[in-house]
Chain A
Amino acid sequence: AQKVTQAQTEISVVEKEDVTLDCVYETRDTTYYLFWYKQPPSGELVFLIRRNSFDEQNEISGRYSWNFQKSTSSFNFTITASQVVDSAVYFCALNTGTASKLTFGTGTRLQVTL
């Protein structure tokens, strides 16, 4: 069985603050893929990143960065210098090597205010 836990239900920050969204996953497979999706207030789901279990290098894309640590089964997402446009619900998801489907966490709602 696979499981994704996003313990932070809601986070509120002031613009320009850094914020980290936590994601902890469970799987017995050695091959797996981790994802982050963004759902802005408009409702669509936007793919942000995919990381496979063999690549523990951290990823940076502009103000976004992802920290993958197999030792703690975590795939955390940090937004540097947050902006109001970052306000959204963020989902972490897991796909194992033997499954044909994504398992999502329950999401973290991020509110960035001026």
Chain B
Amino acid sequence: DAGITQSPRHKVTETGTPVTLRCHQTENHRYMYWYRQDPGHGLRLIHYSYGVKDTDKGEVSDGYSVSRSKTEDFLLTLESATSSQTSVYFCAISEWHRDGYTFGSGTRLTVV
């Protein structure tokens, strides 16, 4: 059983529309993260959470917002999708921020 799941796995959306990606965990881990992966850039942190309703920005947070109303769910919202947000998005969890992360399977988002 996967301790972390992302939905949807694939999405195509139009420029200017809002999009929400969901990350769900069953491990009761405190920390949750959203990264994006782009060629030549590796993985870059968008936002992270260190508890329910406790979130902070990463290095590429512009155009994104997050919410965590329950321990198990961490939502990433693209307020008005742009083509530059076409990417693969990974969610990750960890019990302690210095631990190795467990990553979800990723969401491939295409903005046309």
Contact = CB atoms under 8 A, between A and B. Distances in A.
B42 A100 contact: no
A14 interface: no
Contacts of A37: 103
A35 B100 contact: yes
A104 B42 contact: yes
Contacts of A62: none
A99 B96 CA distance: 11
Interface in B1-51: 31, 33, 35, 40-45, 48, 50
Contacts of A106: 40-42
Given A100-B31, A100-B56, A91 B43 contact: yes
Interface residues of A, number: 22
A64 interface: no
A44 B42 contact: no
Chain A contact residues: helix, strand, loop or mixed: loop
Size category of the B interface is 20 to 34
A33 B99 CA distance: 9
A35 B98 CA distance: 10
Contact of B101 (A47, A105, A107): A47
A19 B97 CA distance: 30
A53 B105 CA distance: 30
B90 to A, nearest CB: 7
B21 to A, nearest CB: 16
Contact of A107 (B31, B33, B42): B42
Give 7 nearest A-B pairs by CB, closest first: A45-B103, A47-B100, A106-B42, A100-B97, A104-B43, A104-B42, A50-B100
Given A50-B100, A100-B31, 9 more contacts: A6-B42, A35-B100, A43-B105, A44-B105, A45-B103, A50-B99, A101-B33, A101-B45, A107-B42
Interface of A: 6, 33, 35, 37, 43-45, 47, 50, 52, 91, 95, 97, 99-107
